Structure 1
Amino acid sequence: MRKSIATGVMTLIPVLLLSGVALAQSAPVESLRGAEVDELVPLNQVHKNVEGRMQRNYRQQPPLIPHSIEQYQIDVRTNQCLSCHDWTKAGERNAPTLSMTHYLDREGRELDRIAGTRYFCNQCHVPQADAPALVDNVFQPSSGN
């Protein structure tokens, strides 16, 4: 009896999986950006960059990038952000320097170069944009207390 129940369950599992996949395939996909999933939307129609610095919304928020980074190369060999923002060049380029936390390794030791964990700037920093919210947001910044 137990063997027949186990066999029945084992034959039922693939049927349920296949029907679940078929159901998922038939469900319509809705895009948050108001276009079909495979439709190309020109970037300038989605948002415009905002020049000048925007205020941060909360303490410890990574600063937003107040300029376009469209043609910037950031990969294992090159990080164009560092050509202006590294502490050795920021003064002459009139650019904000990186926080000293970017020069600490995982153990908290100071380095002469940017830490590998902070090398890919756009993991945390994004360009400022005048973009519509994709979802409603009720976030209120802290009062500073």
Structure 2
Amino acid sequence: MKRSTFAVVIALLAVGGTLHANEKPSQYPGGNGGVHSLRGATELDVTREADPLKNFPEQSGPIESDYVYQPPLVPHTIRHYEMSLNANKCLSCHSWKNAKESGATKISVTHYQTREGQVLSDVSPRRYFCLQCHVPQADATALIDNEFQRVDALR
């Protein structure tokens, strides 16, 4: 089985599709195994143009959590924010040192602790890359229908 055919079969099975033994992915319209994906009808071996950037709502207050221990969501755009080993733009507003002056939410004290619970004077290296847990919310339609509901205790 060719690599591209294998990828189509895996993608088809991942979305709950079926492929019968006597069928080949190329028999489906679009040549991509009949799989409806974010790529649209673009062939798997073709690079397509990127979608336009999503619109972010104007900066607002904190976004309510949907489940317990959910990392807070970012209520503003972060486009052009530098996040590297040498700089973290988030800390210019959200660090304990700057939060009061900027009016931003302070980062949790847990971000200043090591795994062993030792309190540091600066953000722990394991908590330095904010976007591993905290994500901005774009004004976009859902990619798939879902029936997700907030945890009862947070309603």
TM-score by length of 1: 0.75
Tell me, in whole angstroms, the C-alpha distance in 2 between the residues paired with 1:92 and 1:35. Answer: 50
Give the gaps of 5 or more residues in structure 1: 1-18
Alpha-carbon deviation of 1:39?
A: 2.2
Q: Quick one: which of 8, 31, 37 aligns to 2:37? A: 31
Superimposed CA distance per residue, residues 61-99 of structure 1 (whole angstroms, 9 cap, x where no aligned partner): 111111111010000010011011110111111111001
Is residue 2:114 matched to residue 1:105?
A: yes
Kindly state the Cα deviation for residue 40 of structure 1 after the two structures are TM-superposed: 2.1
Q: Structure 2: how far apart are the matches of 1:22 and 1:62?
A: 37
Deviation at 1:139, TM superposition (A): 1.7
Deviation at 1:56, TM superposition (A): 1.5
2:56 paired residue number = 49
Q: Give me the whole-angstrom Cα distance separating, in 1, the residues matched to 2:7 and 2:87.
A: 41
Q: How far does the alpha carbon of each residue in 1:12-40 deviate from its partner, in whole angstroms, 9 at most, with x for none?
A: xxxxxxx2436337741643264745222
What secondary structure does 1:125 align onto?
coil
Q: CA RMSD in A?
A: 2.2
Counterparts in 2 of 1:22 and 1:66: CA distance versus 1, 3 Å: closer
The change in CA–CA distance for 1:71 and 1:22 in structure 2 (over 3 A counts) is: closer
Pick the structure with more helix per residue: 1
Could you say if the C-alpha distance between residues 93 and 33 of structure 1 is closer, same or farther in structure 2, counting changes exceeding 3 Å? farther
Runs of 4+ that moved beyond 2 A: 19-27, 29-37
Cα distance in 2 for residues equivalent to 1:75 and 1:143: 38
Larger-Rg structure: 1
Percent of matched pairs sharing the same residue: 45
* 1:135 counterpart = 2:144: yes
SS where residue 152 of structure 2 aligns? coil
Structure number with greater CO (CA < 8 Å, separation at least 6) is 1
Q: In the alignment, which of 118, 129, 149 is matched to residue 120 of structure 1?
A: 129
Q: CA deviation at 1:126?
A: 0.9
Aligned length: 124
Shift of residue 49 of structure 1? Answer: 0.8
Q: TM-score, normalised by structure 2?
A: 0.70
Cα 1:35–1:103 shift into 2, 3 Å? farther
Amino acid in the other structure paired with 2:69: Q
Deviation at residue 132 of structure 1 after TM alignment: 1.3
Q: Which runs of 5+ in 2 are unaligned?
A: 9-24, 26-31
